[in-house]
Amino acid sequence: MKFSFLSYPLLWMLFCMAIFFSCTEKTEWIETTMDQPWVKQSSLKQTTSKGEIFDVKILTTDEQQTIDGFGTCFNELGWTSLSLLKNEDREKVMKELFAPGIGANLSVCRMPVGANDFSLDWYSYNETEGDFEMKNFSIAEDEKTLIPFIKNAQKYNPNIKLWASPWCPPSWMKYNKNYASRSSILNQNSVRQKDHKYWNNLPADKEGHEGTDMFIQEDKYFKSYALYFSKFIDAYKANGINIFAVMPQNEFNSAQVFPSCCWTAAGLNKFIGSYLGPAMQDKNVDVYFGTMERPTELLVDTILQDSKSNKYIKGVGFQWAGKEAIAGIHKRYPDLILFQTEQECGNGKNDWKGAMHSWDLMKHYLNNGVSVYDYWNTSLTKGGISNWGWAQNSLVIVDAKTNTFKYSPEYYIMKHVSHFVLHGAKKLKAVGKYKDLLAFKNPDNSIAVIIANQNSENKLLSLNIDDKSYSVILNPNSINTLLIK
């Protein structure tokens, strides 16, 4: 007997429904506003595209840089704030931040080498002056905070990639023999220092200055410092934590009241080319130049155009005013890997204005070629004040009085991108009169479009992707992710 669907009407109907649903495009639309985060909206509706002029056209064949991932920084105050929470709440936060496919998907993260400005206090891994062989090297301080923090994140994502940079070498390796480069005494009226408990006691005549080398420029110090990096890599590896890359100095132009060390580009060039580069090559660890916090491309060119150093440089990291140098560097070195290494940290208010500034920063960096975008403080207690008196924003805000937490508006800005833009995604070019967006093609060919409406009125937006067109109404003061599969 010859089989025919027409003889079985029910089977024919089921077959047609299967064909229809297999061809129907799957979409997702998530919106965050000032008042309500992460709301699932109705699916996108396609519209006719004949003769239409679109506000935005996504060019899916015009692929730009590959996205390696998004991340945050592991700081001591991040762990101590999270430790105020009940265990189940802390684990909920860590899962949301780091577990693949759950929340923010943070996967390429940063950590300090020794103390930074959001440490509990100043320390290095060896404060024994003259110990050039690093016999007294120890990461005991990190075993209290940073290592538990990182290992807790690894529980949810064992494949987290971690890079590191020092804020300051051991103090005896600096000309002024102090962890700071700017005097608290001279800056006691600063908003960041006023009425605060921590002072560096650096004499005024020992201050450092931009454009000078505070690190002692002698062979035995360079060799010992390279050994310091190597021992750091080995010590963390012994704890089950692999560091894939290092940068030689955080903000090498900035003299700060907290741990810091000014270098010239020439000084860093010598250290990288003759000492750090070979030492890290032996450890199979990449060297990136940075972090670069000035708008001066020449500082980067000094390294990239030196044949002894540039063979070790795998990429460059930019933050703060360094964002003004990134476009020129990307244009001249289009194949160079670029990182955004520290999102500007706000003022501790964690408000919508700060969140929109964060969004504008993400657009700038991702539109200028970065493959990795890192936030700064993962978690802080409410107000976000460091031990050096600087109030900053964070992804997670912990209330020390009630031992509770909430996610900041900046967290949702990050999540709107990092949850939907996967490792290996390609940044896509977008054209049209509406510019407040980013677009990416994921390895599974899904298209993620992140669009903001920073105005106080609704915005009707027409969007074209390949041969498909959409019309969306964006709520005031909102950020939206459209995922088209």
Average pLDDT over residues 451-460: 97
Which of 388, 420, 452 terminates a domain? The answer is 420
The confidence score (pLDDT) of residue 5 equals: 43
> What CATH number has the domain bearing residue 186?
3.20.20.80
Shared-domain flag, residues 74 and 117: yes
The confidence score (pLDDT) of residue 187 equals: 72
Residue 8 falls within a domain, yes or no? no
The confidence score (pLDDT) of residue 314 equals: 98
Average pLDDT over residues 340-346: 97
The confidence score (pLDDT) of residue 14 equals: 43
Check if the beta carbon of residue 405 is closer than 8 Å to that of residue 373.
no
Beta strands in 34-75 (DSSP E): 39-40, 46-47, 56-66, 69-73
Based on the number of CB atoms within 10 Å of its own CB, is 263 exposed (0-12), middle (13-18) or buried (19 or more)?
A: buried
The confidence score (pLDDT) of residue 43 equals: 78
Which of 380, 402, 420 terminates a domain? The answer is 420
Shared-domain flag, residues 275 and 347: yes
More confident residue, 106 or 4: 106
Based on the number of CB atoms within 10 Å of its own CB, is 201 exposed (0-12), middle (13-18) or buried (19 or more)?
A: exposed
**pLDDT of 133 above 70:** yes
**pLDDT of 12 above 70:** no
Shared-domain flag, residues 351 and 404: yes
Shared-domain flag, residues 144 and 167: yes
Check if the beta carbon of residue 413 is closer than 8 Å to that of residue 70.
no
82 contact partners, CB below 8 Å, separation of at least 6: 90, 93, 94, 149, 378, 379, 396, 398, 405
**pLDDT of 198 above 90:** no
**Cα–Cα–Cα angle for 152, 414, 93, rounded to 5 degrees:** 30
Average pLDDT over residues 221-234: 99
Residue 2 falls within a domain, yes or no? no
Total structural domains in the chain? 2
Q: How many CB atoms lie within 10 A of CB 235?
A: 19
% of the chain at pLDDT higher than 70: 92
**pLDDT of 249 above 90:** yes
Shared-domain flag, residues 311 and 396: yes
The confidence score (pLDDT) of residue 3 equals: 43
Residue 411 falls within a domain, yes or no? yes
The confidence score (pLDDT) of residue 45 equals: 82
Q: Which residue type does 82 have?
A: L
Shared-domain flag, residues 57 and 191: no
Based on the number of CB atoms within 10 Å of its own CB, is 50 exposed (0-12), middle (13-18) or buried (19 or more)?
A: exposed
The confidence score (pLDDT) of residue 191 equals: 46
Shared-domain flag, residues 174 and 315: yes
Shared-domain flag, residues 466 and 448: yes
More confident residue, 201 or 212: 212
Average pLDDT over residues 427-441: 98
The confidence score (pLDDT) of residue 6 equals: 45
The pLDDT confidence band at residue 23, using thresholds 50, 70 and 90, is very low
Shared-domain flag, residues 410 and 441: no
CA 329, CA 128: separation in Å to the nearest integer?
40
The pLDDT confidence band at residue 194, using thresholds 50, 70 and 90, is low
> What CATH number has the domain bearing residue 55?
2.60.40.1180
The confidence score (pLDDT) of residue 25 equals: 59
The confidence score (pLDDT) of residue 192 equals: 56
DSSP state, residue 276: I
Shared-domain flag, residues 41 and 72: no
More confident residue, 100 or 15: 100
The confidence score (pLDDT) of residue 188 equals: 63
Shared-domain flag, residues 176 and 40: no
Check if the beta carbon of residue 451 is closer than 8 Å to that of residue 474.
yes
Q: What is the pLDDT of residues 271-317, one digit of tens each?
A: 999 999 999 999 999 999 999 999 999 999 999 999 999 999 999 99
Phi, psi of 219 (to 5 degrees): -55, -45
The pLDDT confidence band at residue 54, using thresholds 50, 70 and 90, is very high
Comparing 10-24, 97-111, 371-385, the range with the smallest average pLDDT is 10-24
CA 144, CA 76: separation in Å to the nearest integer?
9
The pLDDT confidence band at residue 11, using thresholds 50, 70 and 90, is very low
Tell me which residue range forms the domain holding 220. Answer: 68-420
CA 13, CA 373: separation in Å to the nearest integer?
49
Average pLDDT over residues 401-415: 98
CA 255, CA 168: separation in Å to the nearest integer?
11
Q: What is the mean pLDDT of the chain?
A: 93
Comparing 203-207, 403-407, 417-421, the range with the smallest average pLDDT is 203-207
Average pLDDT over residues 319-332: 98
**pTM across the whole model:** 0.93
The confidence score (pLDDT) of residue 193 equals: 53
Shared-domain flag, residues 341 and 303: yes
Which of 368, 400, 420 terminates a domain? The answer is 420
Comparing 37-51, 85-99, 360-374, the range with the smallest average pLDDT is 37-51
